Amino acid sequence: METAPLETTQAWLKEPKMSYAGGEFIKGGAPLSLKNPANCRDLTKIYEADDRTLALASLSAQNAMRGAWAQITRRERAQALEAIGQLIRDHRSELAILETLANGKLYSESFNDDLPESADVFDYYAGWVDKYYSETCPVERGFLNYTVREPIGVCALIVPWNFPLLLACWKMAPALAMGNTVIVKPAPNTTLTLIRLAELIDTAKILPPGVFNLVLGGAEIGQKLCLDPRIQKVSFTGSSDVAKEVVKASVSQNLKSLTLELGGKSPNIIFADAKDLDWTVRQSFRASFSHKGEKCSEPTRFFVEAPVYKQVCEHMASLAHAVVCGDPFASLSTQGAQCNEAQFEKILRYIEIGKKESCRLLAGGERDRSPDCQDGYFIRPTLFADANNAMRVSQEEIFGPVVVLIPFHDDEEVLAMANQNRYGLAAGLWTRDLSRALRFCQGLESGMVFVNHYGCYDFSSPFGGIKDSGWGKEMGVHALAEYTKLKSVWFKI
Ligand code: NAD
């Protein structure tokens, strides 16, 4: 691991941060203090975008869309994407520090998970710039018909606080690859990596002004983007309830194209015949509790077949007890701080609900009270055993280090329980029975299914949910359809 340039970062944090619109940094409206969730100390200030900044962002994005960005060749566009990926790689430690300071996740998680993927996704989509072909359709009666894929226009990319840089890059890379211009809006408390990326892109002069814009602020700024008729597309990652506000606003002035990546309450089904039960439990535990459980697709409902239920509960509890919450930069820490006070309080409220719903508390159940943790938002990994699928802790998204364990007796029973939920983002199952695995892959109401592993992501495979977990897909060739419109051209011969 590189040595982290903490001092440089601290100097950078002294200056208040601004939005980036039309190739300029703009002070805008009210200042907002950002806190480090690991110790609640002030980090820096950001200025929320005002109406003038928002108008400048969408107007310059529109102008760039019609002008400089439309005129460059595909090869030049691909080179611009590769250059952004390389900038992220060149500044990996610095960006990982900023992500950890603002989000509270372990530095090793920012450095090893978020940063490489944020860089590589630009290379992946740079490769697609000249490979997303149109088709000639076999029409009859003396016509030639072909289709053309065109950029949609100005895209508002609204992202949450759990993977601030990564989720923005997941959207920026395919949007820019297809020739769109973008306005990124991160969650207000986790803006630092994107601000630094804007500075790096600006200094390196990689993109014409207006192609990439960054507006700072919260729900109100997000709503204004959804209402702006100069914007043609909103790609939103966040909670399912806020998504309804996004949809309403996005169709009120003009009919925007929408991609929605939303919440989850994903089942993880462990059968008694799972190949190596200890390995299965370790993998499942990691999938649930890495990034302190603030992951949309993490498994949070464990359905465990009765003969191995006790063994799985005991092993999960021993793994939970071994977790060391603490300073996200310390090499001994294995779990960081929850991202912000509201989320911290929400998780603790759900833990109290679980206790009242008379689950059996196997581990955790409170904030971490050790001296290292008392000033920050640290919560012990929490396991509720003997839950049932109807309880609120089994049905509602908590988005933290909390998992319920529910025993089951047969395949039909567990498939029905797994599907009894508003969400359908991901599902895991662990079994050696191939027929059963295939039957469950068909029957699970979920956008992604993982068999004998959990969370094998690759840029070439679509990511996204069904039911209340969202509309559309990110990643792979599938994301390109989200950022293009299809034109059909008819020639009479
Ligand atoms: P959130 O819905 O509160 O906010 C998400 C983003 O939307 C933020 O930038 C926020 O400022 C903005 N926003 C809030 N209200 C808005 C409004 N009315 N109009 C427009 N924008 C608005 O979500 P969060 O609390 O930041 O993130 C956690 C949620 O995100 C969880 O539900 C989680 O499952 C989901 N998530 C989903 C995925 C996925 O790929 N499916 C990935 C990560 C997180």
Q: Which SS3 state, helix, strand or coil, does residue 260 take?
A: strand
Q: Do 57 and 27 touch, CB atoms closer than 8 A?
A: no
DSSP per residue over 173-202, as a string?
HHHHHTT-EEEEE--TTS-HHHHHHHHHHH
Cα 409 to the chain's mean position, in Å? Answer: 34
DSSP per residue over 135-158, as a string?
-EE---SSEEEEEEEEE--EEEEE
- The number of residues in the chain equals 493
Strand partners of residue 484: 151
The rounded Å distance from CA 278 to ligand 1 centre is 35
The rounded Å distance from CA 187 to ligand 1 centre is 8
Both tokens of 167, joined, read 């989720």
Ligand 1 binding pocket mutation candidate from 103, 162, 266 (most atoms within 8 A of CB): 162
Strand partners of residue 452: none
Q: Do 138 and 146 touch, CB atoms closer than 8 A?
A: no
Smallest CA separation from ligand 1 atom 14, residue: 219
Q: Is 373 one of the catalytic residues?
A: no
The Cα 284–Cα 276 span in angstroms is: 12
The rounded Å distance from CA 190 to ligand 1 centre is 12
Ligand 1 binding pocket mutation candidate from 159, 165, 239, 253 (most atoms within 8 A of CB): 239
Instruction: For the chain, 493 residues long, give each residue's pLDDT as a single digit of tens.
Output: 444 567 889 899 999 999 999 999 999 899 999 999 999 999 999 999 999 999 999 999 999 999 999 999 999 999 999 999 999 999 999 999 999 999 999 999 999 999 999 999 999 999 999 999 899 999 999 999 999 999 999 999 999 999 999 999 999 999 999 999 999 999 999 999 999 999 999 999 999 999 999 999 999 999 999 999 999 999 999 999 999 999 999 999 999 999 999 999 999 999 999 999 999 999 999 999 999 999 999 999 999 999 999 999 999 999 999 999 999 999 999 999 999 999 999 999 999 999 999 899 999 999 999 999 999 999 999 999 999 999 999 999 999 999 999 999 999 999 999 999 999 999 999 999 999 999 999 999 999 999 999 997 799 999 999 999 999 999 999 999 999 999 999 999 9
The number of helix segments (H) and strand segments (E) in the chain equals: 18, 22
Q: What is the pLDDT of residue 327?
A: 98
Check whether domain 266-458 has CATH 3.40.640.10, yes or no: no
The rounded Å distance from CA 399 to ligand 1 centre is 11
The Cα 224–Cα 229 span in angstroms is: 10
Any idea which residue has 């990326």 for tokens?
A: 197
Q: What is the pLDDT of residue 1?
A: 42
Q: What is the pLDDT of residue 457?
A: 74
The rounded Å distance from CA 71 to ligand 1 centre is 34
Out of 48, 94, 261, 305, pick the active-site residue: 261
Domain with CATH 3.40.309.10 in the chain: 266-458
Burial class (CB in 10 A: 0-12, 13-18, 19+), 409: exposed
Please enumerate in sequence order all residues whose Cβ is within 8 A of that of 76, keeping only pairs 6 or more positions apart, or say none: none
Q: What is the pLDDT of residue 3?
A: 45
Give the ligand 1 atom nearest the CA of 158.
9
Q: Is 40 one of the catalytic residues?
A: no
Pocket of ligand 1 (CB under 6 A): 158-162, 167, 185-187, 218-219, 222-223, 226, 237-239, 242, 245-246, 261-264, 296, 397, 399, 425, 465, 470
Out of 296, 325, 359, 373, pick the active-site residue: 296
Angle between helices 164-177 and 92-103 (to 10 degrees): 120
- Quote the DSSP letter at residue 127: T
- Helix, strand, coil shares, percent, the chain, to 5: 40, 20, 35
Give the ligand 1 atom nearest the CA of 239.
32
Cα 313 to the chain's mean position, in Å? Answer: 29
CB atoms within 10 A of CB 27: 14
Domain with CATH 3.40.605.10 in the chain: 3-262+469-490
CB atoms within 10 A of CB 239: 16
Say which CATH superfamily domain 3-262+469-490 falls into: Aldehyde Dehydrogenase; Chain A, domain 1 (3.40.605.10)
Ligand 1 binding pocket mutation candidate from 242, 244, 339 (most atoms within 8 A of CB): 242
List the one residue out of 45, 15, 43, 166 whose CA is nearest residue 102: 43
Smallest CA separation from ligand 1 atom 19, residue: 223
Angle between helices 164-177 and 74-90 (to 10 degrees): 170
The Cα 313–Cα 23 span in angstroms is: 54
Q: What is the pLDDT of residue 2?
A: 46
The rounded Å distance from CA 122 to ligand 1 centre is 23
CA atoms lying within 13 Å on the CB side of residue 123? 10
Does the predicted model carry a pTM greater than 0.95?
A: yes
